[in-house]
Chain A
């Protein structure tokens, strides 16, 4: 089976399909709790955690990597936008977690004549789908400049829960 919308659901992504007319704005990205090395905000959405010495949580680091392999060819390095696609470090200030996931899974087309561009659907791409939370977390960290440009220099140890989920997701059929 292909990794489809249902597959994505199984990964714990709650997807609201279709346009969200009055979407709730994303909450304060401040981490209020941590489960197995993964951080969550007051609304329960995944978020980053940066320690005073610059050490980032492992998900932020993983998101940095995945963003720069799956997304940056269109959205530009460091989530700062390109001549082709918008700066996601700003987008995540407007989109909450569900909307973000909805766009990445469903894709989007801009049909303005002379400016055609397409945000592809990543529903079938494990290299993105298995790291959707990580990418979102990374983008949130960029949105507040909690981390700067480039590769985070210090990171927390890779949590066992991360490795487990990764192996399961990447080998799922």
Chain B
């Protein structure tokens, strides 16, 4: 078994020298800044590039070099891949894949368009987004909306194999990018608003054979949790922890879906990801901690066995999905000791720094001062509530109960940050984070479960955080620099709208991100000063990437407004009778931008 071969190899990142050629290839590819071969840039999800042809001195001269229309109007999340001379680009439903020739201004080398039953469309909550492709073993992997995972020959676009990962008639869909780590491709499942029980599945890159599947809740045999060895905050979790904190059979429709970004530490052979909200949004209907929704997971790559877990929001009452990316960075956590850390900016408004070897909680601090649903996370190891958020009663939708409107909760359900990934820059040692600055009223009520039908159970209304803070501001986004050792904001740039775009940072001293109005922006890593902006054809909810081709550095981003941002913000958020702040009338997104998927590629002029 080649699995054995892999796990016995010495863990050193640079010294991987086992048989699987494809694993070698990915390690090499992600170290080459000329390419962008993984949806997350690298295994560690740093989204950092050592390219510096474009830098703080010359970025002001940046200009579009070429553009490409995807032919699709829906919301465009994710980013293309660049492998060698080819760019691979995905679209939202119908999930077209294009291979574009970088030697010929993006000429189409091949195109793949799956045939999918459109009945999957209405079970995709919040637009028909897709967050991109993965590359490995000479193949391009696409997780279609209808949960079919396909492997395409990277050279020709021909289908090599395909496998069905879920059932859309039960509300199971795919929105996330697949991830290739070593010799396996990993996919999750979406549908937390349809009572789907989340899982992550590993398939063999060669033939699509299922290697393992781990559920977010249920018996230990389903979750792959070892009651004696798997730990939560340093203690073994005990038998069937994925059932014992639920009432009756509620875990079967328990949510905890897995639609975010995954990371991998080859030395530890562990993969990391987060699970989403428990279903329904009405907390009264599901008493208990609802383990293991809202959890950071560390699983063995080869077996799926869980090494450790950390549940951030036990018994969620606000839809604070825990799916955001886990960034693996080695940081000096005091006394000059470098630790292998994991940094995670959760929807719940806390940024967590953990020891990724053991799962020990090191830092948990608010990364938006507006966050009010909890005072803090209990960091006292001897406390019975160690590791738990200290929920403020007034903002507890469970305590206030069904049919009561809990008002002024920050953040809103879309979180202080959603899926749009942050970047870690090793040169500054800081994290650069696209955030939301939005609060909400939340009213849970009773719902009944029907397979394949929405299972939401709460009404919410969102508004700029300034309404709760009473500070006369009306911005709904910030772009921030974060110190994950101290748990402190270093600087914060206001954005009129939620920043719903993934960031890339570079050795050129720059952070790039997109805005919902459609601007691609470059800011100085040290100060946050805006050095460049350009208005692309539509609002940006995609992630910025950078690569080099024929001696030139490029920056690329998909525009195409939509997604949850497009739904929530299209018409603006303020009450009709509110004249907030200096701008007076909080403007609606639809005054700035319209639909349309376009890739814009930037470079310095010759």
Q: Residues on A close to B: CB < 8 A? A: 64-66, 68-70, 72-74, 76-78, 80-84, 87, 107, 109, 111, 113-120, 124-127, 145, 148-151, 170
Given A69-B456, A84-B74, A109-B118, A151:B450 Cβ within 8 A: no
Q: Residues on B close to A: CB < 8 A? A: 71-75, 93-94, 118-119, 121-123, 125-128, 193, 405, 441, 443, 445, 447-448, 450, 453-454, 456-463, 561-562, 566-568, 570-577, 588, 590, 595
Given A76-B568, A82-B570, A118-B118, A148:B127 Cβ within 8 A: no
Given A65-B445, A73-B193, A148-B576, A116:B460 Cβ within 8 A: no
Given A73-B193, A126-B448, A148-B576, A84:B457 Cβ within 8 A: no
Q: How far is the CA of A42 from the CA of B368 in the complex (A)?
A: 52
Given A118-B118, A118-B121, A127-B454, A151:B570 Cβ within 8 A: no
Among candidates B193, B405, B447, B562, residue contacting A83 with C-beta atoms closer than 8 Å: B562
Give the chain B neighbours of A74 by CB distance below 8 A.
Answer: 126, 567
19 contacts between A and B (CB under 8 A): A68-B461, A69-B447, A69-B456, A73-B126, A73-B193, A73-B567, A82-B566, A82-B571, A83-B74, A84-B74, A84-B562, A115-B595, A117-B128, A125-B454, A126-B450, A127-B448, A127-B453, A149-B574, A150-B461
- Measured CB to CB, the closest approach of chain B to A172, in angstroms, equals 11
Residue of A nearest to B596 (CB): A114
Further 5 A-B residue pairs, CB within 8 A, beyond A77-B571, A150-B575: A73-B454, A73-B456, A74-B126, A82-B570, A87-B571
Q: How far is the CA of A149 from the CA of B126 in the complex (A)?
A: 21
For A68, A78, A83, A118, which residue has the most chain B Cβ atoms within 10 angstroms? A83
Among candidates A70, A72, A80, A151, residue contacting B441 with C-beta atoms closer than 8 Å: A151
Q: How far is the CA of A170 from the CA of B94 in the complex (A)?
A: 36
Residue pair A70, B456 in contact (C-beta under 8 Å): yes
Give the chain B neighbours of A150 by CB distance below 8 A.
Answer: 461, 463, 575-576
Residue of A nearest to B443 (CB): A65
Residue pair A83, B570 in contact (C-beta under 8 Å): yes
Q: How far is the CA of A145 from the CA of B405 in the complex (A)?
A: 23
- Measured CB to CB, the closest approach of chain A to B71, in angstroms, equals 5
Q: How far is the CA of A76 from the CA of B126 in the complex (A)?
A: 10
Residue of A nearest to B121 (CB): A118
Give the chain A neighbours of B128 by CB distance below 8 A.
Answer: 116-117
Q: How far is the CA of A75 from the CA of B206 in the complex (A)?
A: 42
Residue pair A69, B441 in contact (C-beta under 8 Å): no
For A77, A115, A117, which residue has the most chain B Cβ atoms within 10 angstroms? A77
Among candidates B118, B443, B460, B567, residue contacting A84 with C-beta atoms closer than 8 Å: B567
Q: How far is the CA of A119 from the CA of B93 in the complex (A)?
A: 15
Among candidates B94, B562, B575, residue contacting A116 with C-beta atoms closer than 8 Å: B94
Among candidates A70, A76, A82, residue contacting B454 with C-beta atoms closer than 8 Å: A70
Q: How far is the CA of A126 from the CA of B449 in the complex (A)?
A: 10
Residue pair B571, A78 in contact (C-beta under 8 Å): yes
Residue of B nearest to A121 (CB): B122
Among candidates B454, B462, B567, B575, residue contacting A148 with C-beta atoms closer than 8 Å: B575
Give the chain A neighbours of B460 by CB distance below 8 A.
Answer: 68
Residue pair B193, A116 in contact (C-beta under 8 Å): no
Among candidates A69, A124, A149, residue contacting B453 with C-beta atoms closer than 8 Å: A124
Give the chain B neighbours of A149 by CB distance below 8 A.
Answer: 574-576
Residue pair A80, B570 in contact (C-beta under 8 Å): yes
Residue of B nearest to A68 (CB): B459
Give the chain A neighbours of B74 by CB distance below 8 A.
Answer: 83-84, 115-117
Give the chain A neighbours of B443 by CB distance below 8 A.
Answer: 65
Residue pair A118, B94 in contact (C-beta under 8 Å): no
Residue pair B459, A77 in contact (C-beta under 8 Å): no
Which 10 A-B pairs have CB atoms at the shortest separation, nearest pair first?
Answer: A83-B566, A80-B571, A120-B122, A148-B576, A82-B567, A118-B121, A68-B459, A118-B122, A115-B73, A82-B570
Residue pair B461, A124 in contact (C-beta under 8 Å): no
- Measured CB to CB, the closest approach of chain B to A113, in angstroms, equals 8
Given A80-B571, A81-B570, A83-B127, A170:B448 Cβ within 8 A: yes
Given A65-B445, A76-B568, A76-B570, A83:B561 Cβ within 8 A: yes
Give the chain A neighbours of B72 by CB distance below 8 A.
Answer: 114-115
Residue of A nearest to B445 (CB): A65
- Measured CB to CB, the closest approach of chain B to A82, in angstroms, equals 4
Q: How far is the CA of A108 from the CA of B62 in the complex (A)?
A: 45
Give the chain B neighbours of A80 by CB distance below 8 A.
Answer: 570-572, 588
Residue pair A84, B461 in contact (C-beta under 8 Å): no
Q: How far is the CA of A65 from the CA of B453 in the complex (A)?
A: 18
Q: How far is the CA of A70 from the CA of B125 in the complex (A)?
A: 11
Q: How far is the CA of A115 from the CA of B562 in the complex (A)?
A: 12
- Measured CB to CB, the closest approach of chain A to B595, in angstroms, equals 6
- Measured CB to CB, the closest approach of chain A to B347, in angstroms, equals 16
Residue pair B570, A69 in contact (C-beta under 8 Å): no
Q: How far is the CA of A126 from the CA of B454 in the complex (A)?
A: 11
For B94, B443, B461, B566, which residue has the most chain A Cβ atoms within 10 angstroms? B461
Q: How far is the CA of A76 from the CA of B450 in the complex (A)?
A: 23
- Measured CB to CB, the closest approach of chain A to B529, in angstroms, equals 31
Give the chain B neighbours of A151 by CB distance below 8 A.
Answer: 405, 441, 461
Residue pair B574, A77 in contact (C-beta under 8 Å): no
Residue pair A84, B566 in contact (C-beta under 8 Å): yes
Give the chain A neighbours of B572 by CB distance below 8 A.
Answer: 80
Residue pair B567, A76 in contact (C-beta under 8 Å): yes
Residue of B nearest to A150 (CB): B575
- Measured CB to CB, the closest approach of chain B to A74, in angstroms, equals 7
Residue pair A117, B121 in contact (C-beta under 8 Å): yes
Give the chain A neighbours of B576 by CB distance below 8 A.
Answer: 145, 148-150
Q: How far is the CA of A80 from the CA of B453 in the complex (A)?
A: 23
- Measured CB to CB, the closest approach of chain A to B245, in angstroms, equals 25
Q: How far is the CA of A98 from the CA of B405 in the complex (A)?
A: 32
Given A116-B94, A124-B453, A81:B571 Cβ within 8 A: yes
Residue of A nearest to B574 (CB): A149
For A77, A81, A82, A116, which residue has the most chain B Cβ atoms within 10 angstroms? A82
